[in-house]
């Protein structure tokens, strides 16, 4: 491991409680958990930066799908009518 550098961090009470609990459960120092967290963030940059091109492609795809005119099925009832019919049939 390389030379250690001292850092001071501020966390909220809920993070402090979580950090203390997990350190006890894993029998490691709180600073070790913080180092592990930094390592995870360093290995997962894709989670930190959204893929804006993928979002734009998804938006275009959704817009295209919404523009499709689907033929009607010829259904002769509405959901409300079906619900009312079921209520009448099973209510007694």
Give 17-60 pLDDT, tens digit per residue: 999 999 999 999 999 999 999 888 777 666 566 778 888 999 99
Record the pTM: 0.47
Tens of pLDDT, residue by residue over 72-92, are: 777 888 889 999 999 988 886
What are the C-alpha distances in Å from 34 to residues 7, 31, 57?
A: 11, 5, 37
Round to whole Å and give the CA distance between 43 and 36: 11
């Amino acid at each position: 491991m390389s030379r250690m550098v001292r850092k001071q961090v501020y966390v909220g009470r809920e993070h402090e409680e979580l950090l203390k609990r997990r350190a006890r459960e894993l029998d490691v120092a709180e600073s070790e958990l913080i180092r592990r967290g930094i390592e995870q963030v360093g290995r997962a940059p894709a989670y930190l930066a959204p893929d804006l091109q993928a979002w734009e492609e998804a938006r275009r795809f959704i817009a295209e799908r919404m523009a499709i005119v689907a033929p009607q099925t010829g259904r002769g009832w509405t959901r409300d009518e079906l619900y009312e019919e079921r209520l009448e049939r099973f209510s007694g």
